[in-house]
Structure 1
């Protein structure tokens, strides 16, 4: 068995680089340590002080995102995300309101190791971090943005994913190698006229998640879609409104959520069909819908999907006929008040 495991582990790092990989692959880092973190700072970054600390300021040259919310910052933020990722830096949002009209793609490229093999780019994640001074920065989806109008065809405001390496083509996502990708300290608001909008899509693995984030999905479909597991997790999130608060029907194994507040969803606060058990700690739900407030959904091909552990939580049902949990798999409750 040990020999098999070692063979599999070694095999993950023996995918040879080909020209087909080149457009989607970050070049090899040799200094100061091979396959580590480069210390080189792009010379064109306008905020030199923050750049020296490893931060790419989205409002500075050459991006110049508008923190007043008056002009559309979609293109500027997209370019800043890519620049920060490629330089192994943090994409930093100063306080302000950033208007967007299309999806902010946070794509983790592949990486060419010093031995010539191609792997997932865990050392080149997309890291979106907001300033902790004053009011938290906010990404606002503009009213009636193109493509966000159909709930049957959801579209994401912020979308994290990793290019496939072992399980498909690089143009396809492979969630189990989406690692170290984070959104921290940035709020998301969906303006009117976007009923198909999802605030954030982030299905990922170790080191990844969304933290310290308020998502106002009043005029949208879902707050957060996708679960982080296998060492990743979402924490410190509030979702206001939307048809669904958290859509965890697609996750990595054993997803974790902590410190979650879900208020005013019209259909369900949580949809769960997670791979293995969802661990949910410190969740507060205030629901006016008839429910079920939480829906645990099994799948026929795996008896372990859709399980749920809910601990140290509170569920407030303001609809007299509301159902708290509808479960097709096992549910464990500990210190949960209804």
Structure 2
């Protein structure tokens, strides 16, 4: 089969690799139909996160080909979607809906084979995969579903961590796919006003199309006064940080109102410790963590089915699997927001 291969920073190839097979009785093999390139894959592509040569990618939709003898909920031919990590579904953390804390969890393309491929072996299949109600997945439907694997689930988690509720004023820091997803999730949670901060006009337009207000700010300037002016002299109740860099984290802590809440889902890269006095004096609550995408997937799928959710504007280009290098390059230079790869 063909698979995207991380050769070295800045170099993505497509190679022939062995077909996966069922190994453990709880495994299934999935023929992948569509797979996504995530913004977090760019950390690897840029050499900022260590990654050995090999498969990459963690977002996919596919069709079950083969099932292990202990798999109870899936059959060959089922169309499925995967969260960005697998988990066993049996431990206390999984039962609490905190699958990233499962001792058996792992991320595709990091702890397992990469999902930017024509097929993949899925462990703990009953607990990990979610069956889809569609037999056939076309490109338009894939653009609505692939964001649910990671970026939209992560944005939804950011809104939950920030405690967004009815009537809140919310600021989202970051204009990537996760940030725009968080803005959409905040509105879905009942926020009265959602303001997204970013520095790329094309991405701000996508956020505006999704219903958010936007404010263009550079990464080197404090947004506090501009936000205060735009919000009529006040600061937001909730802030969702979706970048993971020091400047974004500082902006989130600075811009939230006293006794407000910051939820952060940007994976921290080079972010320093938070001095306790910085949050103590203003009584700021801070919560962050890896999104339990498997926990959110059933509800998000139901909303897509019933027309209440359409995250397809996050995906602006679909490439063939052999065009993966072009997709990475386009996301890296910012000319597109998110790419999906069609494997057939």
Q: What TM-score, normalized by structure 1, do the two folds share?
A: 0.24
Instruction: Give the helix-richer structure, 1 or 2.
Output: 2
Instruction: Give the strand-richer structure, 1 or 2.
Output: 1
Q: What TM-score, normalized by structure 2, do the two folds share?
A: 0.24
